[in-house]
Amino acid sequence: MFSLIRQKYFALVVSFIVVITFWVLYQISTYSAYGLLGILGALFANATGAGGGIIFIPAFQQLGITAEQSVATSFAIQCFGMTTGSVMWLTHAKKCRIENWSLLPTLSFICIPFSILGIWSVYGLGLSTPGSLSYLFAYFSIFIGLGLLYTGIKKIQSDKSNLMPKEITVISVKDKVALVLLSYVGGIITAWLSVGVGEIIAFYLIYRGYRVTLAIAVAVVLSAFSVWAGIGYHIYLDNVYWNVLLFGGPGAVIGGILAKKLATSIPVFQLKMFFASWVFIAGTIELLIN
């Protein structure tokens, strides 16, 4: 009798293991590509300052994921990738002996509260997007890309004129006011698109003459705090696509680790132009597809 009971339990355990194995294999075959997407998104996001949504949103839209799920899942994946990237950049800042890297904490603390306020304003007041997710994302990306290309052209002109601008080492009152306003507006856009505040702040800091890698680091840290401030809202509404996050999240961690090495090994001007070109091309493709 006890032998029969043991056989039944053994059969149940084996059946359970077989079912779980097939379920895991199915999940891997269906969603494993999102791991690569997470790596790419975090790699570009943490190497350029642009949020991972620059890659995630167009990809999710083409795969038929709803706009709400796209934004929520992009927020969730960025919680992994941008947090990892922030740790990498902060570690780099501690080791860096260049004077203006000491501005990283100050710039971050100026921007973070107002970005979060912008995000919570959208959720608390129920501010809906002024257009479809695809079009708003496309136009925003094109605008930021063109702005950064413009700053690159200005640098080429200054180089030809032998006018090498000094990198800023002190934050002016004008910059503080501008960063507060831009962070709030960027937070609103981020709530709609899952990207926005990082790109806007990175663009402004680069345009004003701050070190490019410093601007990227500030954008990454700011984006990390911003997505964490908004993810609870999306979890509450149950909009996160958990199966995608299961693979995209760990992939984003890998991308976040690799990104800092990429950003600090590429010459400043090339990094700046890469950032601008990538954002502009992503927006243009999204606009043409839709």
Report yes or no: 169 and 100 within 8 Å, Cβ to Cβ: yes
pLDDT for 260 equals: 64
- For helices 67-95 and 242-265, the axis angle rounded to 10 degrees is 30
Structure tokens given for 231:
């993810």
Inform me whether the pLDDT recorded for 116 exceeds 90. Answer: yes
Inform me whether the pLDDT recorded for 2 exceeds 50. Answer: no
> For all residues of the chain together, what is the average pLDDT?
76
Burial class (CB in 10 A: 0-12, 13-18, 19+), 23: exposed
Structure tokens given for 211:
């070190």
Structure tokens given for 26:
């199915």
pTM, entire model: 0.79
pLDDT for 49 equals: 65
Please, which pLDDT band fits residue 126 given cuts at 50, 70 and 90? confident
The beta-carbon contacts of 97-100 under 8 Å, at least 24 apart in sequence, are 98/211, 99/169, 100/167, 100/168, 100/169, 100/210, 100/211, 100/214
Across 225-253, average pLDDT: 86
* Torsion sign (Cα): 112, 218, 250, 78: positive
Per the model's pLDDT, the better-predicted residue between 284 and 201 turns out to be: 201
Residues 6+ apart with CB under 8 A from 115: 183, 184, 186, 187, 190, 197, 222, 225, 226, 229
In the chain, the amino acid numbered 190 is: T
Q: Could you report the per-residue pLDDT of 26-65, keeping only the tens digit for each?
A: 444 455 566 666 677 766 766 666 666 667 777 777 777 7
Angle subtended at Cα 77 by Cα 110 and Cα 93, rounded to the nearest 5 degrees: 40
Across 115-124, average pLDDT: 94
Q: Which of 18-32, 95-109, 228-242 has the highest mean pLDDT?
A: 228-242
DSSP per-residue letters across 145-160: HHHHHHHHHHHHHHHH
First to last CA, the chain: 68
Q: Cα dist. 162→158, 193, 211, 271 in Å? A: 6, 40, 19, 21
C-alpha span between 24 and 5 (Å, rounded):
29
Q: Cα dist. 157→160, 206, 211 in Å? A: 5, 16, 18
Query: Could you give phi then psi for residue 281, rounded to 5 degrees?
Result: -65, -40
pLDDT for 187 equals: 94
pLDDT for 85 equals: 83
C-alpha span between 35 and 255 (Å, rounded):
10
Per the model's pLDDT, the better-predicted residue between 174 and 283 turns out to be: 174
Q: Which of 72-86, 95-109, 251-265 has the highest mean pLDDT?
A: 72-86
Per the model's pLDDT, the better-predicted residue between 273 and 125 turns out to be: 125
* Torsion sign (Cα): 272, 277, 280, 283: negative
Please, which pLDDT band fits residue 246 given cuts at 50, 70 and 90? confident
Across 88-108, average pLDDT: 79
Q: Could you report the per-residue pLDDT of 261-286, keeping only the tens digit for each?
A: 666 666 656 766 776 777 787 778 77
Q: Which of 24-38, 89-103, 145-159 has the highest mean pLDDT?
A: 89-103
Inform me whether the pLDDT recorded for 103 exceeds 70. Answer: yes
Q: How far is CA 128 from the centre of its chain?
A: 21
pLDDT for 210 equals: 85
